[in-house]
Amino acid sequence: MHFVLALSLCGIALLAMASNWLPGESIVPTSVVIGLFVLVFPVFGAAFVRSLASGAAGTLLGPANAGRLARYVWLLPLSLKLAYGIVICLAVAGVATGGGRDAKEDASGYYYTYWNNTTLQSERVSLTEPEYHEALKAHLRFSSAGPALFYAASSFLVLASASASSPRTPVKPG
């Protein structure tokens, strides 16, 4: 159940990020992106605690176990390897095309502020409405990419925990 939840939230975060590549205004409300960000903490935290409790963290993570982690990833079904690869590529694209200015809107119009090191004060730069919407969409892309990566990592940790805690049957020779 935890795996399905984490992977579903990852998909929702990727859809929110991808919708901000479309032309025009953002169709995803900022509250959805904030909600996805907040939900990362309990989902990833529970997956991390689960991996510690099952022994998966000690078995797969750490610099001494890099080969073991690579072998575990190699044993994943092809569909999961592709899904994780797509998530990583999309999140990197979201981070690369996102970020930028934190555009704001008030009664006087659209703007962003930055710190001027020469005058040692914050300065306001006016934006046109299209510039504002593009800056807002870039910010939302960046803010959706991080949760998508953490949800994908959560689902991976849940899989690793299930593998580490599954009963082993000894192989009898002969």
CA distance linking residue 49 with residue 114, whole number of Å? 39
Please report, for the chain, the start and end positions of each structural domain, with discontinuous segments joined by +.
Answer: 2-101+130-165
Considering the entire predicted model, what is its pTM? 0.80
Whether the Cβ atoms of residue 115 and residue 124 lie closer than 8 Å to each other: no
Q: Which two tokens stand for residue 126?
A: 């006016």
Per-residue pLDDT of the chain (174 residues; tens, 9 = 90+): 989 999 999 999 999 999 988 888 888 888 999 999 999 999 999 998 988 888 777 777 767 777 777 777 888 899 999 999 999 999 999 999 887 777 888 888 888 888 888 888 888 888 888 888 888 888 889 999 999 999 999 998 888 887 766 666 555 665
Q: Yes or no: say if 137 and 29 are a contact pair by the CB < 8 Å rule.
A: no
Q: What is the DSSP string of 150-164?
A: HHHHHHHHHHHHHHH
Nearest to 30 by CA among 106, 130, 129, 140: 140
